[in-house]
Structure 1
Amino acid sequence: MTDVTGSSGQTTTTSTTSTSVDTGTSEGEDLPPPKPDALTHWVTGDPADADVSPTGPGLILMGGSTDVDAAFTWQTQYLAGGDVVVLRASGADGYNDYLFSAIGGVDSVETLRVDTPALAHEPYVAWTIAHAEAVFIAGGDQAVYMTAWKDTPVEAALMHVYARGGVIGGTSAGLAVLGEFVYAAYNDSVIEDEALLDPYNMYMTMDRDFLALPPLAGVVTDSHFTARRRLCRLIGFVARIVEDGWAPQVLGIGVDKETALVIGPDLVGEVLGAGDVHLLHSNGPPQLCTAGEPLAYAELEWYTLAPGATVTLPTGAPAGPPTLLSATDGALTPAYDCAE
């Protein structure tokens, strides 16, 4: 495994003046729109579109910290030797050499740093994403991702990749934006026990309608799960989504660091890496979920999947009995320490 989230590569940023052109999302188009001057990007490998047909679709849900080599190797079976795009709003090109040389099996890796809605509306950005066989969203700040990318051509281009049979993935903040429901962290991160003490506190900023990936319908995700003691806040996310009428039933997926859940075209997910994947099923509406009051929510089903375990999504019902969790007066039963 390689930790590349904050590393920098050696390739050179290239840019040209942008003009208003059709973004184009069909693989028969050979020439991309001009690159905008404001876009920072890096290309390793052949900069021309590979023009191949991926055989997925697939998803990579990665929990943060050191990346999972096995997950990136897994995706190559669906890419037909095509192109990978790394999408981020900060950082540099640390994934380029890693994915092109260390993992291999692809024609190119291009990192796009898209940190504003203006860049997300650039035709070159949408064209490049849409023509990729895989797109991986790096770690960073999901509030920036949602602010910059939601309701822009980036959103449609990501969905186009998946519909073509490509692979969409993300780690840490990149994982946070993949589900139907998103903990957007618009007011900074919520401390775990705050979610139970007041599920409507100012840090519990939820959002939706960014991506609509079928295996993640009715799903909210969280990363760094065990290391940062995030079970309590995941319960808060699930309670809010049900209470606000966004969905009658919700599945929370928490992924440990150095761990990935990979989901193939058969909708079966497999746990890869060093840690576990945690599934939290809602249990109808919470008994009490209101501003300024501790959450009361009884008998949610919690499953823990070890490396090698599988689950079919979006139902998320693995074999074996669950642990039943209840939230009352800011605490969990069975007892769980929410403090990181």
Structure 2
Amino acid sequence: MAEGGGLDPDAPSGKSLFAWSIERAREAFPGSPISAVVIGAIPLTDDQERPERDRRLDAFLDAGADTAVGLVIDETTAGEPWTADAIRGSHVVFIRGGDQSRYVRWWRGTPIEDAIREVHARGGVVIGTSAGAAVLGGWSFDAMVGSLDPVESLTDSTPRRLTLTRDFLGFAPGVLFDTHFTERARLPRMALMLASLPPADRATTLAVGLDPRTAFAVGPGGEGLVLGEGTVTLLRWTADSACDLKPGGPPTIRGLAFDQLTPGTRADRGGRVTSRPAEPRGTAHAWAGPGVLDRGWFASVEPAWSGRGGREEQTASLIASVASGPAHAGAWIPEGASLSDEGPSRVRVSSGSTRSAVVIDARRAVRRWTIEPAPRRDAPRAHIEGATLHILGPGVAFPDGP
């Protein structure tokens, strides 16, 4: 299970995730006492997390675990047999948030990595939140030189902060996870990560963006279930996808399959939806969030993501507008980029732009609707299947053409 961060063990969504993990463990180990272990690389008080986050241990016990312990495993203790033995004897492993580069640097190739894999191989449950979720896929954004801001990913096709690790833990082969997704406007960064993979890998990798307090729970058969409060965003490379990634210049990435899924939706290994909640009836209304400019056929936010504040609202509002309103396409236009109209239904990124624009195209979406906002949020949650994402560099038009 990969969860997008900010998990609150006392909230209903948090309790349901802990309960899900214990239920799966009891199914895998019928009649056995269930042990859960929460692991991280440094003490909580030094990890930009509050000490009361130890509530996760109580949350496992409340959910039905028989024992729950916490371990701090740094570069020194990662090689000590007792730490690996403590993990190996558990049925549920919970990997905390923090800085995923520590996990890759300190745990890769050690008995810790082997022990976590052993738990998973015998049917145990492995959960990662935030940084812990980022290292669960076949490819991981490892943050070896720090985090990558989404606006930076629209400025430089090959930013130095875009560093990826292959097959660290690898519990979800062919998957790349990104976290804190909507709240930090990480859609363009995840698109650039996918496009930056070797060609054979990007064609077979599913990029999964996880909102806070939202999980993608993958069962033994590989099918994933969306749980929690927010949405899960899927990006896939298709036969129509293409990219132009010139070092030092804004990227162009065309034709990524885009799906944003609400809780209760299931998708297979390839990211194709296998089941979904019933579409709401009689409650749909067009959403026009603050900052969203209505161009008729097209909606936009400009300038988008110019500061740290307001990124979540700008991201969620535009997607909700596209999912619920008459405009079937929309764009985030960051400072440094501009669009010019070329007729009634065509726009182009100006050739003098220093950043790319991000376009979501839902004209051929097979399903699109909104449901009520997540707790503590204003914009409705959007459900969209069958849309397309484009990162448009200077001089590139939408829809495409000369």
**TM-score category, normalised to shorter length:** 0.7 to 0.9
Unaligned runs of 5+ in 2: 9-13, 27-32, 45-50, 275-365, 367-384
Match of 2:82 among 124, 139, 163: 124
Q: For 1:203-214, list aligned pairs within 5 A.
A: 203-213=161-171
Q: Deviations over 1:73-92 (max 9, x none)?
A: 01112323411111101316
- Is the Cα–Cα contact under 8 Å of residues 86 and 95 in structure 1 kept in the other structure? no
- Is the Cα–Cα contact under 8 Å of residues 218 and 224 in structure 2 kept in the other structure? yes
Q: Which runs of 4+ in 1 moved over 6 A?
A: 330-335
Q: Deviations over 1:2-23 (max 9, x none)?
A: xxxxxxxxxxxxxxxxxxxxxx
Q: 2:177 — aligned with what?
A: 221
1:250 aligns with 2:191: no
- Is the Cα–Cα contact under 8 Å of residues 5 and 97 in structure 2 kept in the other structure? yes
Match of 1:109 among 58, 68, 78: 68
Question: Number of paired residues?
Answer: 270
Q: 1:71 — aligned with what?
A: 17
Q: For 1:305-316, list aligned pairs within 5 A.
A: 305-312=261-268, 314-316=269-271
Unaligned runs of 5+ in 1: 1-59, 336-340
Matched to 1:324, the amino acid is: T
In 2: Cα distance, 1:130 partner to 1:163 partner? 11
Q: Deviations over 1:287-326 (max 9, x none)?
A: 31242122221110010110111112x2111154411111
TM-score (norm 2): 0.63
In 2: Cα distance, 1:157 partner to 1:175 partner? 17
Q: 2:2 — aligned with what?
A: 61
Which structure has the larger Rg over C-alpha atoms?
2
Match of 1:89 among 13, 31, 41: 41
- Is the Cα–Cα contact under 8 Å of residues 202 and 237 in structure 2 kept in the other structure? no
In 2: Cα distance, 1:252 partner to 1:330 partner? 25
Q: For 1:1-340, list aligned pairs within 5 A.
A: 60-67=1-8, 68-80=14-26, 81-90=33-42, 91=44, 94-103=54-63, 105-116=64-75, 118-213=76-171, 216-243=172-199, 246-283=201-238, 286-312=242-268, 314-318=269-273, 320=366, 321-329=385-393
RMSD over equivalenced CA pairs, Å? 2.3
TM-superposed deviation, 1:101: 3.6
In 1: Cα distance, 2:234 partner to 2:184 partner? 16
Matched to 2:233, the amino acid is: H
Higher strand residue share: 2
Q: What SS does the corresponding residue of 1:87 show, helix, strand or coil?
A: strand
- Is the Cα–Cα contact under 8 Å of residues 270 and 310 in structure 1 kept in the other structure? yes
Q: 1:332 to 1:94 in 2, by over 3 A?
A: farther
TM-superposed deviation, 1:128: 1.2
Higher relative contact order (CA 8 A, sep 6+): 1
Q: What SS does the corresponding residue of 2:120 show, helix, strand or coil?
A: helix
